[in-house]
Structures are given as structure tokens and as C-alpha cells.
Structure 1
Amino acid sequence: MAIRVLVVDDSSFFRRRVSEILNRDPLLTVVDTAANGQEAVEKARLLRPDVITMDIEMPVMDGISAVRAIMKATPTPVLMFSSLTHDGARATLDALDAGAMDFLPKRFEDIARSKEEAILLLQQRVKAISRRRAVAAPVSRSSTIGAASAAARVRPTLASTPAGRGFAAATPVVAEPVVERRSLPRRSGKHYQLLAIGTSTGGPVALQKVLTRLPANFPHPIVLIQHMPGTFTSAFAARLDGLCQIRVKEAEDGDQLRPGHAYLAPGGKQMLFEGRAGNARLRVIDGNDKVNYKPCVDITFASAAKIYGGNVLAVVLTGMGADGREGARLLKEQGASIWAQDEESCVVYGMPQAVAKAGIATESLPLSLIGDAINNEIGG
């Protein structure tokens, strides 16, 4: 049965364009369109589509308000279309907080090197998020901030994506069902010097849930690799910094790694390490344009293996494709610990599945446990 899609945008041209692209795939069918958020809420209730594509700026009701209303009344996977600007980034992050599952730039030339690649990517994204039913409206960002602010926080002073880069494009494979683990894994007693987390589709919300569990006195530096365009990563780092007890910043070339600080790889760049463990610095470079992802989890993980050896806890969260598998393999060969998010809690079980199926992951954990499991393992 075809995946039923509701297309929402105030531009009749864009509605028609998206509808034509989706209808080209025999597994997708556009059941209707809406010109504003209020229409989207009403048609979501009447038509019960499998997926909704949603613009942000619209008359009558904007896309963020529409996502909130839909998640409250008829939870449905939503793919947002966003402009690649700082304001567009902030609005997109608000939409993800409201319950949207994923986003793509509204200008198709920003997401692919060719028209056909852009068409395939949009079709793949819609199919990927259709596999995950939205189940409830999330906690609002304001209440999350309030909870984070209520905790005592001692915070020390902290000293454009190329076309097609930074967006995972591989189709996820269907995995065997798994039973959700409901207890923390036994502490291994390993010595660590670095926490490294890689993710893609669904990552912004997943990272927020994990990082807000870490205390301000977390004993090691943290590096974050999220597939995201360059105009988004600074806004995303600032948002995480406001929510978390640890410090979070967009990584810069030459940053010295400090305990209790998380460094988000800039979109459109690659993040590496130089120096020695315990006194390492970050290198942020343009990297090879032939690499599919900028930033790339494999590249950062591989660099960590050279500098930190086995003293790394690497976690692979939700995302399309297999980025992170080969880097995790190199870390595992050095004796590092590799964890993967489990299937049931992923938006897309692609990257974690690639690590788990290769026999690299030692733990497969639900998202709700990962932050506490990190604290238990590392002893923050």
C-alpha cells in the first residue's frame, strides 16, 4: 500500500512541485494539499495521512503551531521545509521541538548535486519517517528550559554546506524487532578520556535528550557529529548550551578539549583531533568534497581512534545510512566501547543498525536510558 502524504505550503507552485516529485515514486501518493497550518490541522484529522510535509512560514497558522496542534490531536510524522538561514535554523529547531521528525532545505539545489539526486532524497526522507508513527506531543521547549534552569548549574567560562553535503541519503534497511532494555548496563570499569556521539535524522531531539542528562562536572570532553547544514549548527549549539548543564559550542579550529564541554562539528566541515590524549585540540577543515557527509561521523571517529585509542565511549544515535560504522570499527579495534541506540526509539534505524549488525556495538540502548547509562559508565 502506498504511503499517503499531505503536502502543506502557502505557495501553490511549491505544493505542485512537491506533489509531482512524490507522486513519481510508486510507493508514495499525495492525498491532498493545504495552503496554511489551519488547513493542515483539519486535513490531518480528516484524512489521517502517513506523512505530512510542512512549510514554516504561512498565513493563518504557521508551520510550528500546526505541528504542535497535529501532534496533540492526530500525531503524524512531519517533514519540515526550511530556509538555510540563521532564522530558518531557529524556526526549524522549534519545529523539531514541537514534534516534527526531520527537515530539508526548501531550495532543492541546496540538498543535492543534481535534480535527480534531490528528487530521490526527498522521496527517501518521506519513506524513512513514515516507518515511525508519531505517538504523542513532546514536552515544550519552554518547560524543558525551565526544568534545566531549576537544576543547580556551575558553569565555567568558555574560552555554508556544499550541495548535497550533510544530509544522509541512504535508504534505511528494515531490522529485526528488538526488546527494549529497561535497566542500565553494568558498568565496565574502563578508563575513558572522550565521549563521542554521532547522529543524523532525528538527531537534534535525540542529542537534547541525552545531553540534558549529563552533569556540569562531566569528567571528559564530548564531541558531537550531527548531519546538519552549516547555517544550522551554530544555532543548534546555542540551543543545546541553553538547555544543558554542560557547556555546548560549535567547534572551531584550534579549540582545546576541556572536561564538561561539548563541541558540535560545524556543518559543511570535517572535525579532527591533533596532539595527544589529555591535551588534544580540534582541527576543523573543509575536507574532501568526495565524502558524502560534512560533517562525517566516520572521519571524526577514525581521528579519535588515532589520538585516544581505546579510551573512548562512542555512541551512534538515530540516522539514515551507515555513517559511523567504519569509524566505530577502528575505535573498537583499539579497545573503545561502542553503543548504539535501539531500533524502537530511533526515528530512523539506519546508522545504529549498521553498527549493531556489524557486531561492533557492545550495547543497544533505548534513547531514554542513554544519558543515564553514560553517567553510570563514565562516573560523571
Structure 2
Amino acid sequence: MAVKVLVVDDSSFFRRRVSEILEQDSNIQVIGFAVNGREAVDKARELRPDVITMDVEMPVLDGISAVKEIMAATPTPILMFSSLTRDGATATLDALDAGALDFLPKKFEDIARNNEDAIALLQNKVKEIGRRRLSRFTRPAPVTRTTPTSAPTRSTTTSSGIVQPDRSFSRTATAPASSSAGSSSSVSSMRASGKKYQLVAIGTSTGGPVALQTILTQLPANFPHPILLIQHMPAAFTPAFAARLNGLCKINVKEAQNGDRLVPGTAYLAPGGQQMLIEGRGGSRTLRVFEDDSPRITYKPSVDVTFASAAKTFAGDVLAVVLTGMGADGRDGARMLKQVGATIWAQDEKTSVVYGMPQAVANAGLASESLALNDVAARLTRETGCG
């Protein structure tokens, strides 16, 4: 059965272009159009599409407000189109918070290396999110954080070469609520393995921004290890996403920079369009962030690339988690980690927006646990001994 799509945009040219691209795929059917957010809300209720493509900036009612109303009245998977600007990034992240599942740049030439790849990516995203039942999705509840004025953080270096911050200041946050499967009782019954770690690495794609926010906002300020975050995201979006997470979390979150030293309780988000590696053995461990023009690597940043680097640098002292996302990025890197004794977890199918990346890891026999999204943070704190 074809995925039924409602296309929403105030530009007649863009509506026509999106429609033409989608209907090149026999498994997709465009069933209607809307020219503003108010009409989108009405058409969503009338037509009951499987997927809605939504512009951010529109007259009468903007895209973010339309997403909120649609999710309240007739919950529907929504794919946002946005500009690759700072304002566009902020608006898109707001739309994801409101309930949209994924996004693409509005300029198709920014989507992929060539027109054919861009067309396939749009079609595949629509089909993937259109196959999922919206009741399975998890959205984070509003989170607030207060950070008291304090002197710059002081730090010392441990014998392992990882910088240890001075945690004399405190942060407070409200953990997000979740409708995902899994419960705290099921997590509390799981015992920590007793294994020692030096690094946590998390890879994700479609559905990742919400998944990462759900997990990271639940971690305590005294989380004992650095965390590497590899999220498929355009370069214009990662600074805004890192800043947003840092404003919501008890731990520190930053966009990774070349030469950053790894600090416990800090999460480093790989910059869009670049690769993130770990350098150093025995002494200080630092990040190498660099432009990658290799045609052999599809994703920039790539979960496989960072996971492979973690395997080389930290061997088995890594806890890696593969979350929701299209494709299989992370499988090969997880295999390298597994070979040196690292621990691999995967998000379960029920709470994944797209069960592609975690499924690839699970089907390869690499994941020791399959976890509901809202259980991941509790398992991380228990496994690492900080909760």
C-alpha cells in the first residue's frame, strides 16, 4: 500500500517539485496540498495522511505552530523542510521538540552529492517514517535547567589521560517524561556488569535529536565518562543543537572542536560535514575533527569512523549505543569495538523512529542489550556506577 502524503508549503513551485519527486516512487501517493499552517491542520484532519511534509516559514500559521496543533489533534509523522541557517536550525529543532520526526534542507542541492541521491533520500525518508505507527514514538517533555553563576571550571588530569573537571558547582534539570515502552522497574532489576569503562559513544540518525535529548537530560552531572555523540546532521545545525542540549542537561554538551581534551561528564557532538576521531594513547586523549572529502564514506559525520577510532584508542573500555536511524552506519564500527571487547547496546524497534541502524547492529549479533529509549539513561547510570 502506498504511503499517502500531504505536502505543505506556501510556494507553489516547491509544492509541485516535492510532489513530482515523491510520485516518481510508486510506493508514494501525494493526496493533497496546503498553502499555510492553518490549512495544514485542517487537511491533516480531513485527509488523514500517513506523512506530512511541512515548511517552517509560512503565512497565517507557521510550521512549528502547525506541528503542535496536528500532534495534539491528529498525530501524524511530519518531515520538516528548513533553510541551512542559524535561524533555520533553531526553528527546525523547535519543530522536532513539537513532534516532527525528521527534517531535510529545503535546497535539494544541500541534501546529497547529486540530484539522484537527493531524490532517493527524500523518497526513502518519507517511506520510512510513513511505515511507523506514531503511537510508538517518544517525545521529550519540556526540560528546564538553571545554572548558577560560577567561576570558570577548573580541571585536573587523571592517570588515564582524561581531564577531570572540578564539580564544585551544580546544575538542576527536570527529567523528561516519556511514553516509550520499558519501565524503570525493568531497568532497576538489571545489575551492572561490573565492567570498567573510559568512554561512552552514541551514534544515531533519523529521530536522533529527540532520542539524544531524552537520554542526555536524564544523566547526572557527575557522569563519570566523556561521551561522544555522532548524529547525522548538517553543519549549520550542529552548533545550535549542541547549545540547546547544553542548556537542558546537567552534564556539559558542546560541539566538538579539533584538539578538545576528553572530560568526564562532557558530551562532544561531532560537527556536521566533518569526521571525529580520538587521538592519544596512555597520555592525554584528544579529539581530531577534520573535513573529509572521501567518496567512500557516505555519512559525515560517520558513526563507523568514530566507533573505529574508539576501538583503536580505548579498546574494550568503551560502551557504545546505536540509536534510531536509517541505514546501517555504526554496524562496522560496532563490530570493530566488539572484537576488542567493548560493550554494544541498541535501541529497540518499538521506540525507534526508524529501526535501521539499531537493527543492523542487532541482526549482526553485536548488541548485548536492546533497550527502550526511555530506559537507556537509567541503564547508563547504573552500568557506569553513578546512579
In 2, distance between residues paired with 1:309 and 1:223? 15
C-alpha distance after superposition, 1:6-32 (max 9, x if no partner): 000000110011111111111111100
**Normalised TM-score (structure 2):** 0.88
**Normalised TM-score (structure 1):** 0.90
In 2, distance between residues paired with 1:154 and 1:206? 30
Answering whether residue 213 of structure 2 is matched by residue 208 of structure 1, we say: yes
In 1, distance between residues paired with 2:4 and 2:12? 19
- 8 Å CA contact retained: 1:250, 1:266: yes
- SS for the counterpart of 1:206 is helix
- SS for the counterpart of 1:343 is coil
- Match of 2:343? 337
**Structure 1 residue 254: deviation in Å?**
0.2
**Structure 1 residue 190: deviation in Å?**
0.2
- Match of 1:232? 237
Kindly provide the amino acid, as one letter, of the partner of residue 32 in structure 1: G
Shift of the 139–325 alpha-carbon distance from structure 1 to 2, 3 Å rule, reads closer
Match of 2:355 among 344, 349, 352: 349
**Structure 1 residue 279: deviation in Å?**
2.5
- 8 Å CA contact retained: 2:181, 2:374: no
**Structure 1 residue 134: deviation in Å?**
2.2
- 8 Å CA contact retained: 1:53, 1:80: yes
**Structure 1 residue 379: deviation in Å?**
1.1
- 8 Å CA contact retained: 2:136, 2:350: no
- Match of 2:160? none
Answering whether residue 21 of structure 2 is matched by residue 21 of structure 1, we say: yes
Structure 1 segments unaligned to the other structure (5+ residues): 160-178
In 2, distance between residues paired with 1:187 and 1:154? 34
Shift of the 67–216 alpha-carbon distance from structure 1 to 2, 3 Å rule, reads same
CA RMSD of the aligned region, Å? 2.1
Kindly provide the amino acid, as one letter, of the partner of residue 231 in structure 2: Q
**Structure 1 residue 157: deviation in Å?**
2.8
- Match of 2:81? 81
- Match of 1:114? 114
- 8 Å CA contact retained: 1:256, 1:282: yes
- Match of 2:324? 318
Kindly provide the amino acid, as one letter, of the partner of residue 258 in structure 2: D
Match of 1:197 among 181, 198, 202: 202
Query: Which deviates the most, 64-73 or 16-25?
Result: 16-25
- Match of 2:91? 91
- SS for the counterpart of 1:344 is coil
- Match of 2:50? 50
- SS for the counterpart of 1:230 is coil
**Structure 1 residue 280: deviation in Å?**
0.3
- 8 Å CA contact retained: 2:111, 2:118: yes
- SS for the counterpart of 2:325 is coil
- Match of 1:221? 226
**Structure 1 residue 277: deviation in Å?**
5.4
Shift of the 158–66 alpha-carbon distance from structure 1 to 2, 3 Å rule, reads farther
In 2, distance between residues paired with 1:278 and 1:130? 48
Kindly provide the amino acid, as one letter, of the partner of residue 114 in structure 1: N
Aligned length: 357
C-alpha distance after superposition, 1:104-124 (max 9, x if no partner): 000000012222221111110
- 8 Å CA contact retained: 1:155, 1:245: no
Answering whether residue 305 of structure 2 is matched by residue 299 of structure 1, we say: yes
In 2, distance between residues paired with 1:201 and 1:135? 17
Query: Which deviates the most, 90-99 or 282-291?
Result: 282-291
Answering whether residue 254 of structure 2 is matched by residue 249 of structure 1, we say: yes
- SS for the counterpart of 2:254 is strand
In 2, distance between residues paired with 1:193 and 1:354? 25
In 2, distance between residues paired with 1:323 and 1:17? 29
Structure 2 segments unaligned to the other structure (5+ residues): 156-179
Once the two structures are superposed, the pairs formed by residues 115-130 of structure 1 within 5 Å of their partners are 115-130=115-130
Match of 1:359 among 361, 365, 372: 365
Answering whether residue 11 of structure 2 is matched by residue 11 of structure 1, we say: yes
- Match of 2:34? 34
Answering whether residue 153 of structure 2 is matched by residue 157 of structure 1, we say: yes
- Match of 1:171? none
- SS for the counterpart of 1:231 is coil
- 8 Å CA contact retained: 2:6, 2:53: yes
Kindly provide the amino acid, as one letter, of the partner of residue 311 in structure 1: D
In 2, distance between residues paired with 1:121 and 1:28? 13
- SS for the counterpart of 2:236 is helix
Shift of the 263–155 alpha-carbon distance from structure 1 to 2, 3 Å rule, reads farther
Answering whether residue 301 of structure 2 is matched by residue 286 of structure 1, we say: no
In 1, distance between residues paired with 2:152 and 2:326? 36
- 8 Å CA contact retained: 1:155, 1:247: no
Shift of the 156–221 alpha-carbon distance from structure 1 to 2, 3 Å rule, reads farther
- Match of 2:162? none
**Structure 1 residue 378: deviation in Å?**
0.4
**Structure 1 residue 276: deviation in Å?**
2.1
Answering whether residue 345 of structure 2 is matched by residue 328 of structure 1, we say: no
Kindly provide the amino acid, as one letter, of the partner of residue 265 in structure 1: A
**Structure 1 residue 49: deviation in Å?**
0.4
**Structure 1 residue 136: deviation in Å?**
9.0
Answering whether residue 278 of structure 2 is matched by residue 273 of structure 1, we say: yes
In 2, distance between residues paired with 1:158 and 1:28? 55
Once the two structures are superposed, the pairs formed by residues 119-198 of structure 1 within 5 Å of their partners are 119-135=119-135, 143-145=142-144, 148-149=145-146, 157=153, 182=183, 183-184=186-187, 185-198=190-203
- SS for the counterpart of 2:288 is strand
Shift of the 180–88 alpha-carbon distance from structure 1 to 2, 3 Å rule, reads closer
Kindly provide the amino acid, as one letter, of the partner of residue 126 in structure 2: V
**Structure 1 residue 156: deviation in Å?**
6.6
Shift of the 137–3 alpha-carbon distance from structure 1 to 2, 3 Å rule, reads closer
**Structure 1 residue 76: deviation in Å?**
0.1
